[in-house]
């Protein structure tokens, strides 16, 4: 296999020695580890296709990987699988400012795309917190979100066309520059499929004009409940902020101790970051309303970023928060769940109750406007008893979110980390239907096998005891 891959991409771009493979055992979630069999780094679409053809001919499972910043263990391969790293496919192929489209390879880093189109007064809206490192290909696989998805939608709302290498090495195009030319939304189906349907080798995205006026406000609260209630109150007033983010005290303390210190008040129980954008007059009017609501819900102080640098600083603190958690403990269980916005105050109380009962360190940093929670549990995995408590607490948090009418993932995907939670929200028939869709793209189930859909929970698996 190593030689065969070497003949396609050149021996220089095949990694098979144990030490090299060790660096590919995890993605951004270090609690899920597995050595891939081989890592291959194709340098062109043609090479991707040839690699996938080899996988097809030899019946080898494969996993596509970008920058490996995902948080659900999705871009990790088992020893019988080949990991296809797409980081070398990092060219922006075309920018069409008039039609506001960009065509790119999957390994282009999210933030680099926005930088490249900035001279045209445009940007690529989905901005996951890892945007400085993560690739657009990975964003497509996970249907990545980000703070600004509250107003502008997630990745699927910004991808219009895809070139995909299917697991049998067929190359197909989905969608078009103008969007879906016919019938069902096949681009939408592919986006968020977590690498199970094939490998996107060319991505055409929608670009948006940079808003003429932006206001970023920071409000601090003495209770988490007050901040949570303010979130619903803002949306209830008919305002859709560009972003509406919340950080609790533990998170603020970690950020303020880091190089990304943004001047968040460390004595607040929670802070809200509210961004409004649009025409200058509308932004001014909305800002007044938002400030009134924030103060009515108990905000101690509300301040606006005065300069673009100040605004960038407020955002850097928020976006790098997850990476700053190493200051609390060496390991981190990153969670991602969604609840209806109105349930936020109660679920935050519930998380606090779970934290206290299990004696854990939990920090919260999340997209409050979407009700997309990220409770992060800091721990040291060298303490197995503590690690067990973390797992129990994670499950309790998930169950609580589902009970509140929510979901087990907002934007990090299911991967391997959340596969066991899938039956909490989907019944056997639904999971079987999902599997059937996957089989349409990948009849041999070789693309990112063992992820997302728990086979044991599918209806047919349950119906056939022999399969067990």
Q: Does 434 bind other proteins (CB under 8 A)?
A: no
C-alpha–C-alpha distance, residues 180 and 160, integer Å: 7
DSSP 3-state assignment of 84?
Answer: strand
3-state helix/strand/coil string of 326-378: HHCCCEEEECCEECCHHHHHHHHHHHHHHHHHHCCEEEEEEEHHHCEECEEEE
C-alpha–C-alpha distance, residues 5 and 269, integer Å: 54
Cβ at position 17, least distance to other proteins in Å:
4
Q: Does 145 bind other proteins (CB under 8 A)?
A: no
Q: Give CA separation, 172 vs 52, 165, 213, 280, in Å.
A: 14, 7, 40, 44
C-alpha 390: how far from chain center: 21
Annotate each residue in 318-347 with x if it binds other proteins (CB under 8 A) or - if it does not, as one string.
Answer: --xxxxxxxx--xxx---------------
Q: Does 446 bind other proteins (CB under 8 A)?
A: no
Q: Does 466 bind other proteins (CB under 8 A)?
A: no
Residues 6+ apart with CB under 8 A from 464: none
Which of 2, 132, 214, 455 binds other proteins (CB under 8 A)? It is 132
Which of 111, 239, 240, 434 binds other proteins (CB under 8 A)? It is 111
Q: With respect to other proteins, which residue has the nearer C-beta, 255 or 299?
A: 255
Q: With respect to other proteins, which residue has the nearer C-beta, 29 or 293?
A: 29
Cβ at position 243, least distance to other proteins in Å:
19
Q: With respect to other proteins, which residue has the nearer C-beta, 18 or 359?
A: 18
Within 202-261, the residues that bind other proteins by CB under 8 A are: 255, 257-260
Which of 5, 28, 142, 165 binds other proteins (CB under 8 A)? It is 28
What is the spatial order of strands in the sheet that 62-65 belongs to?
14-15, 38-40, 82-85, 62-65
Q: Does 118 bind other proteins (CB under 8 A)?
A: no
Of 73, 155, 164, which is closest to residue 448 (Cα–Cα)? 73
Q: Does 17 bind other proteins (CB under 8 A)?
A: yes
How big is the chain by its Cα radius of gyration, in Å? 22
Q: With respect to other proteins, which residue has the nearer C-beta, 75 or 293?
A: 75
Of 413, 462, 395, which is closest to residue 139 (Cα–Cα)? 413
The region of 27-35, 201-209, 225-233, 415-423 touching other proteins under the rule CB under 8 A is: 27-35
Q: Does 433 bind other proteins (CB under 8 A)?
A: no
Pairing of strands 159-165, 361-366: unpaired
Residues that bind other proteins (CB under 8 A): 15, 17-20, 22-26, 28-30, 41, 67-69, 85, 87-88, 90, 107, 109, 111, 130, 132-134, 255, 257-260, 320-327, 330-332
């Amino acid at each position: 296999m190593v030689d065969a891959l070497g003949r396609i991409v050149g021996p220089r771009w095949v990694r098979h020695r144990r030490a090299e493979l060790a660096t590919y055992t995890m993605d951004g979630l270090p609690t899920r580890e597995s050595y891939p069999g081989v890592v291959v780094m194709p340098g062109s679409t043609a090479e991707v296709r040839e690699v996938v053809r080899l996988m097809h001919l030899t019946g080898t499972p494969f996993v596509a990987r970008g920058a490996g910043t995902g948080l659900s263990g999705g871009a990790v391969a088992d020893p019988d699988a080949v990991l296809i790293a797409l980081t070398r496919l990092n060219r922006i192929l075309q920018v069409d400012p008039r039609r506001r489209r960009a065509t790119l390879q999957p390994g282009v880093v999210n933030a680099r795309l926005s930088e490249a189109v900035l001279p045209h007064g445009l940007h690529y809206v989905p901005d996951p917190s890892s945007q400085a490192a993560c690739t657009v290909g990975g964003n497509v696989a996970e249907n990545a979100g980000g703070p600004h998805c509250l107003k502008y939608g997630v990745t699927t709302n910004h991808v219009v066309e895809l070139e995909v290498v299917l697991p049998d090495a067929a190359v197909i195009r989905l969608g078009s520059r103008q969007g879906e030319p016919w019938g069902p939304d096949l681009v939408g189906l592919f986006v968020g499929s977590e690498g199970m349907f094939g490998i996107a080798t060319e991505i055409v995205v929608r670009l948006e004009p940079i808003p003429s006026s932006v206001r970023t406000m920071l409000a601090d609260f003495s209770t988490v409940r007050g901040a949570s209630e303010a979130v619903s109150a803002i949306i209830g007033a008919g305002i859709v902020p560009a972003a509406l983010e919340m950080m609790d005290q533990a998170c603020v303390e970690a950020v303020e101790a880091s190089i990304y210190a943004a001047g968040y008040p460390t004595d607040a129980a929670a802070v809200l970051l509210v961004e409004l954008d649009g025409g200058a007059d509308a932004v001014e009017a909305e800002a007044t309303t938002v400030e009134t609501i924030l103060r009515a819900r108990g905000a101690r102080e509300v301040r606006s970023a005065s300069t673009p640098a100040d605004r960038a600083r407020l955002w850097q603190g928020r976006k790098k928060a997850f990476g700053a958690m190493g200051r609390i403990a060496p390991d981190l269980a990153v969670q991602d769940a969604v609840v209806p916005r109105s349930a936020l105050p109660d679920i935050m109380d519930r998380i606090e109750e779970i934290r206290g009962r299990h004696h854990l360190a939990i920090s919260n940093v999340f997209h409050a406007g979407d009700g997309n929670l990220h409770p992060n549990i800091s721990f040291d995995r060298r303490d197995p008893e503590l690690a067990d408590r973390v797992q129990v607490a994670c499950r309790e948090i998930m169950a609580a979110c589902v009970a509140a009418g929510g979901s087990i993932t907002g934007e990090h995907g299911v991967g391997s980390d959340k596969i066991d939670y899938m039956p909490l929200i989907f019944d056997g028939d639904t999971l079987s239907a999902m599997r059937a869709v996957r089989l349409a793209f990948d009849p041999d189930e070789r693309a990112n096998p063992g992820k997302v859909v728990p086979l044991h929970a599918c209806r047919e698996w349950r119906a056939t005891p022999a399969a067990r």
